[in-house]
Amino acid sequence: MSQISRDELAHLAKLARLGVSEAELDTFVGQLDVILDSVAKVGEVAGDDIPPMSHAANLTNVFRSDEIRPGLSQQEALSGAPASEDGRFCVPRILGEEQ
């Protein structure tokens, strides 16, 4: 006996706005039964003494630790700019606004 009926699958496909043919419905019902059976078997294996986890492998932070380091001075930052004015980068206007 299927865990999900063909009508339920057709309804779900309609809700998801998927165009599914009649032949695909028959195929998908069988495939979904296999998937649901597999998930049920995994559920049987997991015991109450096994804590749930979000990942199969332990995750560790691979980033460097934050360290305060001196940054560029205003003059150093502007030294490579093609144009600057009043201590700021000068860039071309893109909106055509008047000053």
The number of distinct structural domains making up the chain is 1
Residue range 84-96, pLDDT digits in tens = 999 999 998 888 7
Residue range 16-64, pLDDT digits in tens = 999 999 999 999 999 999 999 998 888 777 677 777 777 888 878 778 8
User: For residue 22, what are the domain limits?
Assistant: 6-45
Residue 35 lies in a domain: yes
pLDDT at 95: 82
Tell if the pTM clears 0.95, that is, is over it.
Answer: no
Q: The CATH number of the domain where 20 resides is what?
A: 1.10.20
Number of other residues whose CB lies within 10 A of the CB of residue 51 = 5
pLDDT at 99: 58
Query: CA torsion angle for 43, 46, 51, 52 (degrees, to 10)?
Result: -30
pLDDT at 93: 81
Residue 72 lies in a domain: no
